[in-house]
Amino acid sequence: MEELGANSQENGLTAALARRARRCLIGNYGERELALVRGDGVYVWDADGRRYLAFLSGIAVNVLGHCPRAVVEAVSRQVRTLIHVSNLYLIVPQIELAELLCGHSFEGARCFFCNSGTEANEAAIKLVRKYWYDRGEDRFEIISAEGSFHGRTLASVTATGQAKYRAGFGPLVPGFRYVPFNDVDALAEAVTERTAAVLLEPIQCEGGINIPDAGYLERVRELCDSKGGVLLVLDEVQTGNGRTGKLFAFQHTSITPDIVTVAKGLAGGLPIGAMIARTEIAASFGPGTHAATFGGNPLVCAAGVATLRELLKPGFMERVGELGRWFLELLREQVGGFSEVRDIRGQGFIVGVEVRGEPGEFVRRFRERGILVGSAGDRVVRFLPPLTAQREHIEAVVGAFRRILERC
Ligand SMILES: *Cc1c(COP(=O)(O)O)cnc(C)c1O
Give the residue whose CA is nearest to atom 6 of ligand 1: 117
Q: At residue 5, does pLDDT exceed 50? A: no
User: 77-94 pLDDT, tens per residue?
Assistant: 999 999 999 999 999 999
pLDDT at residue 398 is higher than 90 = yes
pLDDT value of residue 159 = 98
Rounded Cα distance between 277 and 293, Å, is 20
pLDDT at 7 over 50: no
- Asked whether residue 1 carries a pLDDT value surpassing 50, the answer given is no
**Ligand 1 cavity residues, CB under 6 Å:** 116-118, 121, 149-151, 201, 205-206, 235, 237-238, 263-264
Which part of the chain has CATH 3.90.1150.10? 314-381+388-408
Mean pLDDT, residues 258-279 taken together: 98
In this prediction, residues 375-393 reach a mean pLDDT of: 98
Q: Shortest CA distance to 371 belongs to which of 351, 400, 350, 348?
A: 400
Mean pLDDT of the chain: 96
Please check the confidence at residue 3 and state whether its pLDDT lies above 50.
no
Q: What is the pLDDT of residues 222-262, one digit of tens each?
A: 999 999 999 999 999 999 999 999 999 999 999 999 999 99
Residue type, position 201, single letter: E
Given the residues 248, 250, 258, 264, select the one marked as catalytic.
264
Is the confidence at residue 353, as pLDDT, over 50?
yes
Asked if residue 12 has pLDDT above 60, the reply is yes
Domain with CATH 3.40.640.10 in the chain: 69-311
Active site includes 149? yes
Q: Which CATH number fits domain 69-311: 3.40.980.10, 1.10.3720.10, 3.30.70.360, 3.40.640.10?
A: 3.40.640.10
Q: Is 66 helix (H, G, I), strand (E, B) or coil?
A: strand
Of residues 230 and 4, more confidence is placed in 230
Q: Which of 55, 106, 112, 149 is labelled catalytic? A: 149
Count Cβ atoms below 10 Å from residue 51 Cβ, excluding itself: 17
Amino acid 154: pLDDT: 98
Please, what is the end-to-end C-alpha distance for the chain in angstroms? 24
State the pLDDT at residue 10: 54
Task: Tell me what the mean pLDDT of segment 91-98 comes to.
Answer: 98
- Indicate yes or no: pTM above 0.85: yes
The domain defined by 314-381+388-408 folds into: Aspartate Aminotransferase, domain 1 (3.90.1150)
Of 46, 55, 181, 235, the catalytic one is: 235
How high is the pLDDT of residue 6? 37
Q: How many whole angstroms separate alpha carbon 12 and alpha carbon 6?
A: 17
66 touches 387 (CB < 8 A): no
Q: What angle do CA 146, 361, 384 make, to 5 degrees?
A: 60
The residue to mutate among 28, 238, 244, having the most atoms of ligand 1 within 8 angstroms of its beta carbon, is 238
- What's the CA-to-centroid distance between 246 and ligand 1, angstroms? 19
Q: Which atom of ligand 1 is nearest to the CA of 121?
A: 10
Contact call for residues 144 and 161 (beta carbons, < 8 A): yes
